[in-house]
Chain A
Amino acid sequence: MKRNPQEALLSARGISRRAAVLGGLQLGVAGLLTARLAKLQLDGGQEFRLLAEENRINVRLIAPARGLIVDRNGVEIAGNEQIYRVSVIPDDAGDVEAVIAQLRGLIRLDEDRLAKARREMARSPSFVAVTLAERLTWEELSAVALNAPALPGITPEVGLSRVYPRHDDFAHVVGYVGRVSDRDLERDTTDDPLLRVPQFQIGKTGTEQAMEASLRGRAGSKRIEVNAAGRIMRELDREPGISGRDVVMSIDAGLQNFTQARLGSESASAVVIDCRNGDVMAAVSAPSFDPNLFVQGISQPDYDVLRENDHRPLHNKIVQGLYPPGSTFKMVTLLAALAAGEITPNETVWCGGSTRVSGRRFHCWKRGGHGHVALNESLRESCDVYYYELAQRTGIERMAAMARKLGLGIRHDLEMTSVSEGLIPDRAWKRKRRSEEWVVGDSLNASIGQGFVLASPLQLAVMTARLSSGLNVSPRLVRSIDGAAQPSGVQGTLDIPRSHLDLVRRAMYDVVNSPRGTAGRSKFDLSGVKWSGKTGTSQVRNITAAERARGVFRNEDLPWDRRDHALFVGYAPHDDPRYAVSVVVEHGGGGSKAAAPVARDIMLYALHGGVPPLEAYPSGQRGEAEERLGALRLAPVAPAGGGRTRA
């Protein structure tokens, strides 16, 4: 294409014109910049030079003391301790390795820490201080300070670090703090300059993370004088900033400690809730770990031990552990059927050991069957066939609605990490998630808490608190923040008729207190106070035909990780519920044997406010109880008085 000369000329002329306009604009901007330069440098020159001189005085941020976390009685769960550390500024040190060698003569240096420090030095600019050693003793620090002239670039520092005096007890609930990571900075929207202070710690998990905004506080500052080389000459003054706010948890440290000890090395979880206000009195996931390890930066071997343990100590089973609730779900099915008017208390169902629905056989746990079963016996003896019948009459939608009313399948808003929603299946869920239609067999499985149904120990405790008290209880983990009480967890009453709840509670009483109840061996009588509950055993998998052929019939013959989960939920006192408890022992076998005795000890401790008296146990079990309780290693619990480290 040949452009005609006329057009080319026009184009050139147009461009020249536009270039002139643009050039003018650019010159204007350049003039503006010149004017600004003149204003700053010529007019303001003297004043700014003065400011620059003053800038010998450097302002540094001081991290505020993090808010304390205490239990309901003031026992310290998370506090602050003074730590001493030594850091080096490579610019000032010159030959860093020589200085490190000097330092090695004075204090012990951890090789791992040194390797980390060397990596950090390689990465960051050479004027940034890098920590060489942490948690020095006072003597070590003095040695460094004394020899300061021979150690160029080395500064001894005092700082605060988080400490968890209750060690393993609160690792999953309260969590721990750690250094600010790049990811933390990316997610941060507060622009808090504190996050950029080296060594600053923020909540990484649990309540420490959830309550970060309250616990952190506001930065203080100090003014220090530096000489021409940037070395600190002296500190002029400091403004301490605002400490973080103190958080009072609803948990009772004594009960928490007892529960942790009682669960021992089992892979298990237990929750105790106060039915009257939703306070979480204890929430334990076992086995646990020491959060102090994470604050100091856990070593790889230690971490590997925790990670490779098949009892998963790092996993928070309280709110993240999801289990088929097994027979503890039967109260839900029962209340749903009662609400729907599909069953009356005296109507009986025939249990012959199994029932046949749409071509599939569904078994009762008792092979021989229970015979004629009415409402009370059905729960007391945990007859599955009775609930298969209820499931067919009631249907999954009404059962699911009742489950949600009782706090299953919904997320409870707690100050913990990754609180799970659990799973209450219904038709819509199965269509969406599995692209399959709901079949009646699914309802049957759900009615005895198997199949798709999943609940966390926390949810089971909430369910128990709700159906025992008739109140709409939600769990509450934080009681108050800096003295400001948090709202109670109870919001009105459940819309379930009192008569229905009474039927269920009567049956739960019989589960524990009737000789024929599934938990008949786990009753107690603490000066007239008795309790009610329900056992549950949830299958991890069926025993296969091949295993039967090899002679494996009982759960105990299976390897540990294939055995059934043992569950128990209960409340006391039976006639005026105060506490609700749930216990899940992973692969523990049967609920009545593995979970109910644990729940009983925990409940007795909660009621008694200390290690339960032997008189509360049935006379034949006292020797055994004495031995069991005596073997527990409990930590002393004393409210923090003057021992508060605020520094």
Chain B
Amino acid sequence: MSYLEYNVARTPSGLRKVLAMNWALTITVAAVAALGLLVLYSVAGGSMRPWAEAQMQRFALGLAAMFAVAMIPIWFWRNVSALFYALGLILLVLVEVIGSSGGGAQRWIDLGFMRLQPSELMKVTLVMMLAAYYDWLPPSKVSRPQWVLVPVLLILLPVALVVQQPDLGTSLLLLMGGGAVMFIAGVHWAYFATVVAAGVGLVTAVLKSKGTDWQILQDYQYRRIDTFLNPENDPLGAGYHITQSKIALGSGGLTGRGFMQGTQARLNFLPEKHTDFIFTTLAEDFGFAGSLSLLALYVLIVAFCVWTALKTKDRFASIVSLGVGVTFFLFFAVNMAMVMGLAPVVGVPLPLVSYGGSALLVLMVAFGLVQSAHVHRPRLPGEGQLLRR
């Protein structure tokens, strides 16, 4: 809709689109993925199997997906956002049904060549749906209560389904990611202040209620909170992961113990060393220098998403780009905070590095959307000289 005001003909066509992509973003993403493969190789004790090789194939697939998505105009993606969102919800319900009839918690649907986790898919479709919604809604109405309620429901619906699975990490990411998109769209800050205040109040109430008659959580849930706050008290039980993970991180020092020299990972002191806790291996092998480089690359990726968002001037395109950036940011920030003992252990992988297909593919598709926004951004006269016929 809003594109009609611009001269669409100015956007490149055909293979020129490839040249017009956000190459800075592409290169940083590839760099992070390469670093990830290196770590997977190290975790497997210096072997491409079982993880690095499979992950490489998936990254190739993801790269192809990103290019494919980038070639398709961003307004097409806007038009199918609602459809994708509905599809995502249906898949979530479906996995619930299959999972419960199978007798255990199942989070994925088997596609033959890979297992698709609908909850991962939802991370990008939710951002698209919200962006499309705010593109449709006149900016002047954004902060009216009834128009705030709609996106809140759009967020809570998948969150409720994911919590059911149960997958606390993903539902938290969806919640925070959705909230961030609402913030970007310009919802009045007072709403956010209220939610933050209520959250702080709830946490205080939960902690204060321990041991009283109106105790809110079960005893074992309090034990988990205690473990998070003082992992040293339970070094063999649930605190084990965190303690070992901190030891691995810390022992890396400034320059690390050297590629494949980390003992924590090699001797299997680390849990989930190829998935959620992979950052510890990297930190152990490459030290502060390596960890900081990864963090810097991550920040760069987010910055390139923001760059695209600010360049495009189109409401849907810029909200999507910023939304993808924020979701990506939440991914790595939550994972790193968890590994470093700053946040409780909830299952969130380290993006582009952790072993796992669904999360990687979904992220690459999300970056494809940013690329599409970049390629199909309206140009002012004089911009993009290189591409003129």
Contact = CB atoms under 8 A, between A and B. Distances in A.
Interface of A: 1-3, 5, 7-8, 10-12, 14-16, 18-19, 21-23, 26-27, 29-30, 32-34, 36-38, 40-42, 44-49, 51-53, 55-56, 58-59, 61, 127, 182, 186, 189-191, 193, 219, 221, 226, 228, 230
Contacts of A16: 310
Contacts of A191: 220, 223-224, 237-238
Contacts of B235: 59
B251 A45 contact: yes
Interface residues of B, number: 65
B250 interface: yes
B184 interface: yes
Contacts of A36: 337, 340, 342
Contact of A19 (B5, B184, B249, B251): B184
Contacts of A26: 299, 302, 326, 329, 333
A92 to B, nearest CB: 12
8 contacts: A7-B140, A18-B184, A33-B337, A37-B340, A38-B288, A40-B246, A45-B254, A226-B267
Count chain A CB atoms within 10 A of each CB in B251, B268, B315 and give the residue with the most.
Answer: B251
Q: Which of B252, B266, B319 is most buried by chain A, counting CB atoms within 10 A of its CB? A: B252
Contacts of B237: 191, 193
Contacts of B366: none
Contacts of A7: 138-140
A97 to B, nearest CB: 18
Most buried by A among B246, B247, B284: B247
Contacts of A8: 2, 5, 313, 315
B306 A230 contact: no
A45 B250 contact: yes
Given A15-B322, A230-B267, A10 B236 contact: no
B32 to A, nearest CB: 15
B341 to A, nearest CB: 8
Interface of B: 1-2, 4-5, 104-105, 138-140, 180, 183-186, 218, 220, 223-224, 235-238, 244, 246-254, 257, 263-264, 266-269, 283-284, 287-288, 291-292, 295, 298-299, 302-303, 306, 309-310, 313, 315, 318-319, 322, 326, 329, 333, 336-337, 340, 342
B291 A14 contact: no
B183 A22 contact: yes
A37 B291 contact: yes
A292 to B, nearest CB: 29
A475 B251 CA distance: 61
Contacts of B313: 8, 12
Main secondary structure of the interface of A (DSSP, over half): helix
Contact of B253 (A1, A18, A46): A46
Given A41-B250, A52-B264, A15 B340 contact: no
A5 B326 CA distance: 28
Contacts of B220: 189-191
Nearest to A44: B250
Contact of A182 (B2, B104, B303, B306): B104
A270 B238 CA distance: 47
Nearest to B220: A189
Given A37-B295, A189-B220, A29 B5 contact: no
Contacts of A193: 236-237
B365 to A, nearest CB: 22
A159 B356 CA distance: 37
Chain A to chain B: the 8 pairs with minimum beta-carbon distance, closest first: A48-B250, A45-B253, A52-B251, A41-B288, A49-B251, A44-B250, A48-B251, A14-B186
Contact of B251 (A33, A51, A189, A226): A51
A15 B236 CA distance: 49
Nearest to B246: A40
Nearest to A14: B186
A51 B247 contact: yes
B53 to A, nearest CB: 16
A5 B313 CA distance: 11
B322 A41 contact: no
B340 A3 contact: no
Given A37-B283, A58-B269, 6 more contacts: A18-B186, A45-B251, A45-B253, A49-B257, A51-B250, A228-B267
A52 B306 contact: no
B193 to A, nearest CB: 13
A15 B315 contact: yes
A266 B148 CA distance: 72
A18 B249 CA distance: 35
Given A8-B5, A127-B268, A48 B247 contact: yes
A2 B6 CA distance: 11
Given A8-B5, A41-B252, A230 B333 contact: no
Contacts of A29: 329, 333
A51 B266 CA distance: 15
A42 B268 contact: no
A551 B4 CA distance: 96
Contacts of B238: 191
B161 to A, nearest CB: 20
Nearest to A91: B45
A127 B267 CA distance: 9
Contacts of B180: 22
Nearest to A37: B291
Contacts of B340: 33, 36-37, 40
A12 B247 contact: no
Nearest to B268: A127
Contacts of B287: 41
Contacts of A3: 1-2, 5
A59 B236 contact: yes
A30 B104 CA distance: 38
